[in-house]
Amino acid sequence: MSRVCQLTGTKANNGMSVSHSHIRTKKLQQANLQKRRLWWAEGNKWVNLRITTRALKTIQKKGLGNYAKSLGIDLKSI
């Protein structure tokens, strides 16, 4: 299973780790993914998702159905 958010598509970011002596080495900044079981009111069922914590905050604000619709994602297929 890849480390990608199922709703937003957020994935890892390439970055540089800079030491005190300014030696730069590559590092991978992973997305903060969590497995959650969320209630989908429109579909009247539970949905298991692997999503970022940022998406979780937005779901709490907007609701799962509205947020998925704004992203153009069909929750029936998940």
Q: Which residue has the tokens 């297929």?
A: 77
What SS3 string covers 22-66? Answer: CCEEEEEECCCEEEEEEEECCCCEEEEEEEEHHHHHHHHHHCHHH
Quote the pLDDT of residue 44.
95
Rounded to two decimals, the pTM is: 0.83
* End-to-end Cα, the chain, rounded Å: 14
Q: How many domains does the chain have?
A: 1
Closest by CA to 10, choosing from 66, 65, 56, is 56
Q: Summarize pLDDT for 9-49 with one digit per residue, the tens.
A: 999 999 999 999 999 999 999 999 999 999 999 999 999 99
5 within a domain of the structure (yes/no): no
Tokens 């994602």 found at: 73
Domain membership of residue 7 (yes or no) is no
Residue 58, domain member (yes or no):
yes
